[in-house]
Structure 1
């Protein structure tokens, strides 16, 4: 058999098992190959949260996990964020309805920067003042919440719908939403120039 360098190099690679963080019971997220352990540091895995948690109700979100440490052939990760699939939001968008989005950065109790991206859909177009009032509601809410909770705590409360339900109660005072969700929630790199909401 002729020597195949590409095949020979592949055989030398080590397969590392990727594990979720402790908040997700360190379930297996998959495997990744590399020649050396340090080569897998920094790699990211995106996976449907229903598979991570074994909870079908969380299928609308995917989790982003970053490998931060290797022990033997186990690659340990940290949660970088969650993102709702865009198709979930788009099915609510129809002519005559209003879609309000926002993007802002807060600090959690550990002084980490967190990007928050809510989305709201109503059955008619809202006045500008109503949109501003609604944005102020969720911005103020997350600023205060970040003073008390860690990034991971807030992620869990988004996934179990505690945060969205609390916000919907406040938003209804301005206008009842057809659909409301935190479409993206993730750690913001500190090296980026950002406008912090405090």
Structure 2
């Protein structure tokens, strides 16, 4: 084999995980397909759902965990607000409350979850502490009940934020509640077996199919006001 042939690159089609529809999200060049395992692809929520331009404010990260031929399949690696969006939420005369903690999913994966809460008016330290405890208690109860894919949808589509909002609003008047960032801490070599296909929230897929199918009965996620909701 000549040196030119050795350097010849192939293009891989990268697919979102089945719990985000399993649709193509990128094409990447590589000289050795197996070397693509572990690479991270960044897309926005709008790139996946194509529903509302305001979904550009959330970036998602998908990590390639296996390659079959010219197709690469991924898992959820994390998400975060864009810096511009987070900065736009800051207001004078209000309080920002942060909560950061590690949790483990039902399928044994460790996540670092970042919660942010903005209040309508300034609040004292005791109320900030109470809001943090609300966030922690809800996440501590809910995350161990979910697989990685289920958590990803609950966090990205705003359901967990809505649960926190509904309890934390009893402590103070709130302007915004969100899971502003999540990091998957478990490395690829430490991961449990791949999840089986399943359907939640109107998004479904089968591993390796690379196809997107919407449930006719499932609600469409939209951004409404200060939280992402269904």
TM-score (norm: length of structure 2): 0.74
Find the counterpart in structure 2 of residue 194 from structure 1: none
Find the counterpart in structure 2 of residue 127 from structure 1: 124
- The answer on 1:168 being equivalent to 2:165 is yes
Find the counterpart in structure 2 of residue 51 from structure 1: 47
Structure 1 residue corresponding to 2:18, chosen from 22, 33, 53: 22
Contact map agreement 2:99 2:135 (CA 8 A) in 1: no
* C-alpha deviation, 1:92, in angstroms: 2.0
Superimposed CA distance per residue, residues 100-151 of structure 1 (whole angstroms, 9 cap, x where no aligned partner): 1121101111121111101111132211111111101100100100221122
Find the counterpart in structure 1 of residue 138 from structure 2: 141
Aligned runs of 1:83-162 on 2, under 5 Å?
Answer: 83-162=80-159
Q: Per chain length, whose mean CA-contact separation is higher, i.e. which structure has more relative contact order (CA < 8 Å, sep 6+)? A: 2
Find the counterpart in structure 2 of residue 195 from structure 1: none
Q: Which runs of 5+ in 2 are unaligned?
A: 188-230
- CA RMSD in angstroms, aligned pairs only: 1.9
Q: Relative to 1, partners in 2 of residues 1:47 and 1:9: Cα closer, same or farther, differing over 3 Å? A: farther
In structure 2, how many angstroms separate the alpha carbons of the residues matched to 1:125 and 1:25? Answer: 41
- The answer on 1:41 being equivalent to 2:37 is yes
Structure 2 residue matching 1:102: 3-state secondary structure? strand
Q: Which runs of 5+ in 1 are unaligned?
A: 191-198
Contact map agreement 1:58 1:159 (CA 8 A) in 2: no
Q: Kindly name which structure, 1 or 2, has the bigger radius of gyration based on alpha carbons.
A: 1
Q: Which stretches of structure 1, 4 residues or longer, exceed 6 Å deviation after superposition?
A: none
